[in-house]
């Protein structure tokens, strides 16, 4: 379980994250969606969880079950992003971050090499590790990137670039995957396909996902749990049916007055 404990972050006068306490993965493999109006602090929260930002107060804690059934707590608030990957904490960005001059396959491969801890190897060729290549094949198949695998990333259409970004994240064998608007900029008719692919991949691996999303139809369809942020604080937390039933939530989020 990944826990945010009283997280607080200020930018000057602006309190972007205000005493946020949340738990993700209480049911392992759950799909949590974070929603909220612009400027609610969604991305800041993800940045705090993944180490791109340091909180002013509060902590990020990973709970891990040991073999004898007890739970161990590890505070990772001050752990570098690159080490958080070892804790199973992986993220994608709102703006696609892939290695533009590499081919699709090379992009996925470098992530998988990292996961297998083989990046410091200098005695082999990068494409010579059988276990790595098998994992890369699986990922390319799952994200339907096989046909474009030898194309350079920067030449791909936007939707494929998004999928490549996510495929790389899955290549790191995450326990918790934080996705910052995986469908942003994707054409409406492709959004479902992108989310669907993510759901399939995370179900297959039991990955807990935390997704920032603006499209409420997608949220209703795919969310196991919903977190609503408003002005830096948790406004609502619970079942996605809240979107239908909670009048105040609808007013804040959708501007619907009833």
- Could you please report the per-residue DSSP string of 140-160? HHHTT-STTTTSBGGGS-HHH
Residues whose CB falls within 8 Å of the CB of residue 107, separated by 6 or more in sequence, listed in order: 98, 99, 153, 164, 168
Q: Determine the Cα–Cα distance for residues 185 and 144; give it in Å rounded to an integer.
A: 19
Residue 184 binds another protein, judged by CB under 8 A = no
Query: With respect to another protein, which residue has the nearer C-beta, 170 or 235?
Result: 170
Residue 85 binds another protein, judged by CB under 8 A = yes
CB of 117 to another protein, least distance (A): 9
Query: With respect to another protein, which residue has the nearer C-beta, 125 or 189?
Result: 125
Residue 60 binds another protein, judged by CB under 8 A = no
Residue 120 binds another protein, judged by CB under 8 A = yes
CB of 150 to another protein, least distance (A): 10
Q: What are phi and psi of 82, to 5 degrees?
A: -65, -25
Q: Applying CB under 8 A, which part among 81-89, 179-187, 216-224, 235-243 lies near another protein?
A: 81-89
CB of 257 to another protein, least distance (A): 41
Which of 22, 62, 90, 195: binder of another protein (CB under 8 A)?
90
How crowded is residue 118: how many other Cβ atoms within 10 Å of its Cβ? 14
Query: With respect to another protein, which residue has the nearer C-beta, 4 or 168?
Result: 168
Residue 162 binds another protein, judged by CB under 8 A = no
For residues 201 and 217, is the Cβ–Cβ distance under 8 A? no
Residue 100 binds another protein, judged by CB under 8 A = yes
Residue 101 binds another protein, judged by CB under 8 A = yes
Query: With respect to another protein, which residue has the nearer C-beta, 35 or 48?
Result: 48
Residue 115 binds another protein, judged by CB under 8 A = yes
Count residues near another protein (CB under 8 A): 38
Residues whose CB falls within 8 Å of the CB of residue 187, separated by 6 or more in sequence, listed in order: 159
Sheet of strand 233-238: strand arrangement: 89-92, 176-180, 208-212, 31-35, 225-230, 233-238
Which of 80, 130, 245, 255: binder of another protein (CB under 8 A)?
80
Q: Determine the Cα–Cα distance for residues 237 and 139; give it in Å rounded to an integer.
A: 33
CA distances from 237 to 24, 156, 178, 230 (A): 12, 37, 17, 12
Binding residues vs another protein (CB under 8 A): 50, 52, 80-83, 85-86, 90-91, 93, 97-102, 106, 109-111, 113-115, 118-126, 128-129, 168, 171-172
């Amino acid at each position: 379980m990944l826990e945010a404990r009283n997280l607080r972050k200020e930018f000057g006068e602006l309190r972007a994250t205000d005493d946020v306490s949340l738990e993700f993965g209480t049911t392992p493999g759950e799909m949590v969606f974070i929603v909220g109006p612009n400027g609610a602090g969604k991305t800041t929260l993800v940045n705090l969880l993944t180490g791109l930002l340091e909180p002013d107060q509060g902590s990020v804690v990973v709970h891990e079950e040991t073999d004898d059934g007890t739970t161990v707590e590890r505070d990772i608030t001050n752990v570098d992003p690159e080490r958080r990957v070892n804790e199973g904490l992986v993220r994608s960005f709102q703006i696609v971050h892939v290695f533009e001059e590499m081919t699709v396959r090379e992009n996925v491969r470098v992530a998988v090499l990292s996961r297998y801890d083989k990046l410091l190897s200098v005695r082999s060729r990068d494409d010579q590790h059988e276990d790595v290549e098998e994992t890369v094949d699986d990922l390319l198949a799952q994200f339907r990137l096989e046909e474009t695998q030898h194309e350079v990333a920067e030449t791909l259409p936007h939707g494929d670039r998004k999928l490549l970004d996510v495929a790389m994240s899955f290549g790191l064998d995450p326990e918790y995957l934080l996705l910052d608007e995986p469908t942003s900029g994707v054409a409406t008719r492709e959004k479902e396909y992108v989310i669907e692919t993510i759901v399939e991949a995370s179900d297959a691996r039991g990955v807990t996902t935390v997704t920032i999303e603006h499209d409420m139809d997608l949220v209703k369809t795919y969310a196991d749990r919903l977190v609503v942020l408003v002005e830096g604080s948790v406004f609502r937390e619970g079942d996605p049916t809240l979107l239908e039933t909670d009048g105040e939530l609808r007013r804040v989020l959708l501007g619907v007055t009833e």
